[in-house]
Structure 1
Amino acid sequence: MSERAATAEQGTPVAGLNDRALGWLRFVWDKATTPDDWSDQGEPHPWWDRYTAPPMCSFPRFDVHYMAYVLPVMLEATPAWREPYTRIADELVRRYTSFWGAVDWCTLIGPDPGVNRYPPAWLAFIPEPLRGRYAPPGWTGNGIEPWGLQPDPCGADGNVFYRGWLNLLLGIRRYVSGEADGEHRPFDITGYQNRRFTWTHARIAEFLSAQFRSRPQGPHCENTKIWPFCVSAAGLGLQLYDALLGTTLHEPFPLWVDYVRKHYMSLNRTGELDTFALYYDPIEQRLHTLPGPSVAHGVFPCLLYLYPQDREFALWIYELAMRRLGWSDPDLPLSKLRPDPNHLCTALWMAHEVADTATEDRIRDFVEREYQPRFFGEENDRFGFWFGYDSTWPRGQVNATLMLAESGSPGAWWRIYNEPQPASAPGPQLRGVDYPDIGIRRARSDMTRRVLTVETTAGTPSRRGNPTSFTIDRLPNPAEVAVTVDGRDSSGWQVSGDSSIRLDLDIGDHQVRVAFPNGDSRS
């Protein structure tokens, strides 16, 4: 384990958010807070990624849940500042539960009438003997027997990718907000023909867990297909739910991993990865795997979700996939291997997560050369990778995984699900920060030394130098704090409440230190 990862796990200060992370957060903020119409009468803004990985992932819902992943990772640098993450997560949940969140389940009804007219690139996702009469991934087929038409996208037998990722998104929202309740708060989901269905976070988690217990093969996604990719994500949402609420709904998931080992993958005589299920169809009783080295492309989508749940298994299949593709061989230039950007981004994240610096550096060198990292926007304060796509905005799905490695220290993703920051963690909190005019690189409390450290920057460059203020609350004795700005005693603050102060400063790069006396922090 790297020194940086060990430092984070011990709870001592970690590095603040770098310019790229802040630029990505600003773009995610733009996407989340800019109004657009996700009802059946409207259409998502074009910057929501509906273009990546057709036919299965080219729906804006995928971009919505991918945008959430970076939020708890960034929180490790700013646990005393949660406001923008909570606002973003609320806007993501709102979109996810809309008509466009479940547009495939609501509109792709019954057998696909174009089943014999797919483009050649899609045929690789269909078993050869079934081509011409079998729907590809992405055709949800609501209404196909033996399940019949099920109007509720969350309560259906299939469509596990919908409720699995929704459960994960709700867990992330709870994590970044620091709220200690809300799992029984009802909300509506839009289903077939605009019917409304009322759910709670608790009911979704319990329903998923029950499906895992009753279906050792795993719940299915599109009607007839069980995807390790989607099932792994559903499991991760249950693990986060258990970690936050102390329940045991994740218990059946390890049994499914055992099923994967026995039935959804195999090695050849030389120990190389031979098969790994892209999906399994229990009706056709057919496991579909890609041929040759392409078999590894079934592994990479699962790694982000499997690693926090079963480190040993995830590392093993990661190493098998890297060897099968030749990506782990330093003598084989990645440029000659023509790597798929979705999976190479996952490989870079995985190397970063486990502090495999040699592999990370090798892949990062390729990414920096080939994937077009750049700042953009009117003030050049947003950031993303373009991957050679001819697009106005960076594609969310491929950027989301890559930005995890830009935004957190090694082990950050694993810690969220296994060592989560408790919602009731003591210490001061920042409120009313004028984001995105002012940005926060770091906001952490050292409860041993009784010090809050905040690093600010100009979130919007044209606002640099303008006056701003924010509240620091949960202070036990606010009149007795000592405040320094850039190493100098500051008088630019005043007590604003029983447990809070208001700090005045200008928008820019500052180091703020608030020493607070002994005593219990007030919530």
Structure 2
Amino acid sequence: MGSKKYPSLNEKTLGWLTFLHRKVSINDDWSEDGEPLEWWDKTSNPPVLNFARFDLSESSYALGLMADVTPAWREAYAFILKGLSERHLTFWAAYDWLTQIGPDPNRGKYPKEWIDLWIPDHLVGEYDTPGWVANGIEPWGLQKDPIGADGNLFFKGWLNLIQSLHVYMTGEDTWGTAFQVAGVDRTRFDWTQHRLVEHLSSQWSKNRMGPHCENTKIWPYCLSAAGLGLQLYDAIFQKNTHSVYPEWVEHTKNKYYGFDKSGALEWTPIYYDPLIDHIHAAGPSNGLTIAFYMMPQDPAFAEFLYRTAVKKLGWDNVNKEIKMKPEPRFMALGLACAKEFGDTTVEMRLRAFAEANFEPRWFGENNINFGYWFNLDEKWPRGQWAALAMMAEVGKSGAWSNLFRNPNLEKFDAPTLEGVDFPNILVSQAFNDPDKQTLNIKLKSTNKAKENRYSKISITKIPDLSSIRIKRDGYLYDMWRATGKGSIEIDISYSDIELEIYTGWSGEKKRGEFNKIINKDNLSSISSGIIQRPQSLKIIKTSSCPCCASIHN
């Protein structure tokens, strides 16, 4: 059948997919009266990321990549993303905004490591740590709606990204219908995705430094993630809301980043507080965390940040040992960036490091689930870190950028595999070849109790049923029937199967190439934008940052 030339999902990816499916299949209670199940990660990287909604957002990224590997089969991805999106509307998703009212009562009791890491030196004991949103403080006052609020960018930005990825699976305007989001004191607020995007882009246009997350703190890291959501939303709905992102990058570059006279990067931003004109910064390697989200939006500056970080960390030096810096999030982001930019040396070194230190492990019934356990001796894989580590397992170099810059919208009109008994049957390949006019499918059975029993699948959106010809494992196969206009049903069994289905579909994919080269023209804008420096600047000199890591470099 020659199916090897078509993209496919590897074993680890399929194992991770079955675990995500398992997580969203159980209707745990994220309301004010319940609590997310323990496998949702609300532990990692305190005090800034130890909230369950970050497990929702981090878990969504690899699903977008999977859909581009198997564009003719997306129903499992859609199911999972719907579950992630629905949970992101709840009390526990907005927990910080709904419960952290006013200044942090413990701001005078922060441990020294928090003070050194997060607090401006001149405001120790008088300033809230990142991660405390301080809903209700002036000049904004109490804002009960987590989307309508002036702040809480990291809630609304990632919500739009997850919803956009869900629409990318289905081609349906699911979130264009009103939904409710949980607010302070059990209030509920009606929104649609389109109103959310209009609100977010309007806030961004009015605040050229960027909307804030916690009250008083603007994070380029979070804004770059929010930009991805706008970028994909625009591609799907033919809008132009993403223009705020490149304008913001250029406007803030010389304030948020430090360059020496030669243009070399000296420091990168963690957060900016406009009320006191303070930038909390770190060394160049911190730019790696921003580069991951910036890559599809500003590839030149993102690669500049990545290359500078890699050089500072010594990851490109084969004679230098790679060490944990200090937690897996940073290492996983580095591996994803290396793969994306086609940096084979760094990618191979970080892959070897991950295999040795991330504790990859199979688990669950019949060992069909896969995850990274990070030697934590916990009951479940650590959700946020494992999700980011999986990014390097899906797709080829440039796949992350192509997802946003050249999304495959043609798949919605192409022959599509549906009705798979997932996860009892896994789909590693589902790809339309427009040249051969074939749909190529590879299935794998995971349920030993059902081995060789009867099942069935459906193929929809076939342009001409009279042209159908099917091969199963290389031989002509006639166990199929028409079920409607453009649809057929195929008898299969719970076993490993390869299908080649001649459908007559000859559409051509319109996918651009990701420009992975920084040239002089691209670099010319790296030091443009506003010139003024902040009144207050603190550059962290410790390697203990839980989300940025190794920021002394």
Could you say which TM-score interval applies, normalised by the shorter chain?
over 0.9
Structure 1 gaps, min length 5: 1-11
1:386/1:395 contact within 8 Å kept: yes
Q: How far off its partner does 1:430 sit? A: 1.4
1:209 maps to 2:197: no
TM-score relative to the length of structure 2: 0.88
Find the aligned partners of 1:485 and 1:147 in 2 and give their Cα distance: 64
Contact 2:285 2:308 in 1 (8 A): no
8 Å contact kept, 2:480–2:489: yes
Give the SS at the match of 2:108: coil
Match of residue 311 from structure 2: 323
Query: How far apart in 2 are the matches of 1:182 and 1:379?
Result: 35
Alpha-carbon distance between aligned partners in 2 of 1:285 and 1:321, rounded to the nearest angstrom = 26
Partner of 2:464: 477
Q: What residue is the counterpart of 2:102 in the other structure?
A: 110
Checking the alignment, whether the CA contact within 8 Å between 1:431 and 1:470 is kept in structure 2 is yes
Alignment of 1:94-109 (within 5 A): 94-109=86-101
User: Which one-letter code corresponds to 1:468 in the other structure?
Assistant: S
Higher-RCO chain (CA-CA 8 Å, sequence separation at least 6): 2
Partner of 1:311: 299
Q: For each residue in 1:443-501, what CA deviation from the matched residue of structure 2 results, as whole angstroms up to 9, or x when unmatched?
A: 11122321111000014454432321111121233354111110011122122222211
Q: Secondary structure, in 3 states, of the residue corresponding to 2:222?
A: helix
Q: Aligned residue for 1:509?
A: 496
Q: How far has the Cα of 1:72 moved from its partner? A: 1.4
* Alignment CA distance shift 1:461-1:360 (3 Å): farther
In structure 1, the partner of 2:394 is 407
1-side partners of 2:507 and 2:294: how far apart?
Answer: 39
Residue 176 (structure 1) aligned with residue 169 (structure 2): yes
Residue 24 of structure 1 aligns with which residue? Answer: 16
Please show how residues 341-490 of structure 1 align to structure 2 within 5 Å: 341-422=328-409, 425-490=412-477
Aligned position for 2:142: 149
SS in 2 for 1:388: coil
What is the distance in 2 between the residues matched to 1:424 and 1:344? 33
Percent of residue pairs identical = 40
- Distance of aligned partners of 1:121 and 1:492 in 2 relative to their CA distance in 1, 3 Å threshold: farther
Q: Deviation per CA, 1:5-33: give whole Å up to 9, x if none.
A: xxxxxxx9642101000000001111111
Separation in structure 2 between the aligned mates of residue 121 and residue 376 of structure 1, nearest angstrom: 36
User: 1:332, CA displacement in angstroms?
Assistant: 1.4
SS in 2 for 1:76: helix
Q: Does the Cα contact within 8 Å between 1:175 and 1:423 map onto a contact in 2? A: no
In the alignment, what sits opposite 2:185? 193
Q: 1:89 Cα deviation (Å)? A: 1.0
Q: In 1, distance between residues paired with 2:159 and 2:309?
A: 28
Shift of residue 297, structure 1, vs aligned partner: 5.4
Contact kept? 2:434, 2:506, Cα under 8 Å: no
Give structure 2 stretches of 5+ with no counterpart.
Answer: 509-553
CA distance in 2, matches of 1:520, 1:130: 61
1:158 aligned to which of 124, 140, 151: 151
Q: Which residue is equivalent to 2:290?
A: 302
Q: Output the CA distance in 2 between the equivalents of 1:419 and 1:270.
A: 34
Query: Are 1:38 and 1:95, in contact at CA under 8 Å, matched by a contact in 2?
Result: yes
Partner in structure 1 of residue 213 of structure 2: 221
Cα distance change of structure 1 residues 74 and 13 upon mapping to structure 2, 3 Å threshold: farther
| Deviation for aligned residue 1:519 | 8.8
SS in 2 for 1:132: coil
Q: Is the 8 A contact 2:430 2:440 kept in 1?
A: yes
- Corresponding residue number in structure 2 for 1:83: 75
Cα offset, 1:119, TM superposition: 2.9
Q: Which amino acid aligns with 1:514?
A: I
* Partner-residue secondary structure (3-state), 2:417: strand
Structure 2 counterpart of 1:282: 274
Distance (whole Å) between structure 1 residues aligned to residue 306 and residue 286 of structure 2: 11
Q: Secondary structure at the match of 1:74?
A: helix
| Alpha-carbon contact 2:434-2:507 (below 8 Å) kept | no
Among 237, 255, 262, the alignment partner of 2:254 is 262
Contact 1:273 1:321 in 2 (8 A): no
The residue type equivalent to 1:143 in the other structure is G
Q: Cα deviations across residues 92-131 of structure 1 (Å, max 9, x unaligned)?
A: 1110001111010000000111111123332212222222
Aligned length: 504
1:201-225: per-residue Cα shift (whole Å, max 9, x none)? Answer: 1111111111121111111100000
Q: Secondary structure at the match of 2:334?
A: helix
1:423–1:61 CA distance, 2 compared to 1 (3 A): farther
Q: CA deviation at 1:241?
A: 1.1
SS state of the match for residue 400, structure 1? helix
Q: Is the 8 A contact 1:381 1:461 kept in 2?
A: no
Task: Find the aligned partners of 1:172 and 1:121 in 2 and give their Cα distance.
Answer: 37
- Superposition pairs of residues 22-101 of structure 1, within 5 angstroms: 22-101=14-93
Instruction: Output the amino acid matched with 1:113.
Output: P
* Alpha-carbon distance in 1 for matches of 2:326, 2:105: 34
2:28–2:35 Cα contact (<8 Å) kept = yes
Distance 1:277 1:461, change over 3 A: farther
Distance 1:508 1:518 in 2: 27
CA distance in 2, matches of 1:36, 1:519: 44
AA aligned opposite 1:188: Q
**In structure 1, C-alpha distance between the alignment counterparts of 2:106 and 2:456, rounded to whole Å:** 59
Amino acid at match of 1:71: L
Structure 2: distance between partners of 1:105 and 1:230: 16
Task: For 2:388, give the aligned amino acid.
Answer: T
Q: Could you tell me whether the CA contact under 8 Å between 1:297 and 1:343 is conserved in 2?
A: no
Q: TM-score, normalised by structure 1?
A: 0.92
CA distance in 2 between counterparts of 1:340 and 1:395 reads 12
